[in-house]
Chain A
Amino acid sequence: GIQVEQSPPDLILQEGANSTLRCNFSDSVNNLQWFHQNPWGQLINLFYIPSGTKQNGRLSATTVATERYSLLYISSSQTTDSGVYFCAVGTSGTYKYIFGTGTRLKVLA
């Protein structure tokens, strides 16, 4: 089955710093989502981005499906950005999203 790897696994930032999180996948995908799991366990939708670039406030994401990766950019990080960031990919005919290994982010005040 498809493998989804995220890097880095852990990241510690000072408030105000920028960061780039990466999601690599081993096969062609039809759909890709980014989620933030906050410290209370909630999974919050960030982007639904099968291809191209999207921006939402301080966050933006780019998926290059032909090269099998997606990037999540966080600018001017805040302590509320702390948590785990997951990408999840879906492939045609499988009817399921496969989650990546996650990036655990801690933003220090």
Chain B
Amino acid sequence: DSGVTQTPKHLITATGQRVTLRCSPRSGDLSVYWYQQSLDQGLQFLIQYYNGEERAKGNILERFSAQQFPDLHSELNLSSLELGDSALYFCASSPRPLEEAFFGQGTRLTVV
């Protein structure tokens, strides 16, 4: 157990819908990262927060948004879902940016 908790573990939804993925970082970690892994692909960086502030943005679609709350948990919102958004979404946390990061078990999103 990495100490990073992601919910839900699995999510099946229809095209056009909106979903929210939740991440609770390890105790004491201030930095949260989100990654997307499509089938048999590598991990693509989406966005990073440090102590509530966005610090880095990757190839995140405009339909996607995220935030980190005062209690340091983070949410990734995906809207107007398309079939191609089906993927494994990972959250990771580290004490500060680019210190050792630990990953949650991921949320497997299937868009039908």
Contacts and interface: CB of A to CB of B under 8 A. Distances in A.
A, B co-complexed: yes
A96 B45 contact: yes
Interface string A28-54: 001101010000011101001000000
A48 B100 contact: yes
A94 interface: yes
A8 to B, nearest CB: 15
Given A30-B98, A100-B42, A45 B2 contact: yes
Contacts of A92: 98
Nearest to A31: B98
Nearest to B96: A95
Nearest to A104: B40
Nearest to A4: B42
Interface stretch (B14-22, B50-58, B63-71, B76-84): B50-58
Interface residues on B, range: 20 to 34
A102 B42 contact: yes
A101 interface: yes
A86 B35 CA distance: 14
B111 interface: no
B102 A97 contact: no
A95 B97 contact: yes
Contact of B33 (A35, A42, A97): A97
A99 interface: yes
A40 B55 CA distance: 31
Question: Of B33, B43, B50, which is in contact with the most chain A CB atoms at under 10 Å from its CB?
Answer: B43
A86 B43 contact: yes
Nearest to A40: B105
Nearest to A90: B98
Nearest to A89: B98
Contacts of A95: 31, 48, 50, 55-56, 97-98
A33 B33 CA distance: 15
A10 B68 CA distance: 37
Interface of B: 2, 31, 33, 35, 42-45, 48, 50, 55-56, 58, 88, 90, 92, 97-103, 105-106, 108
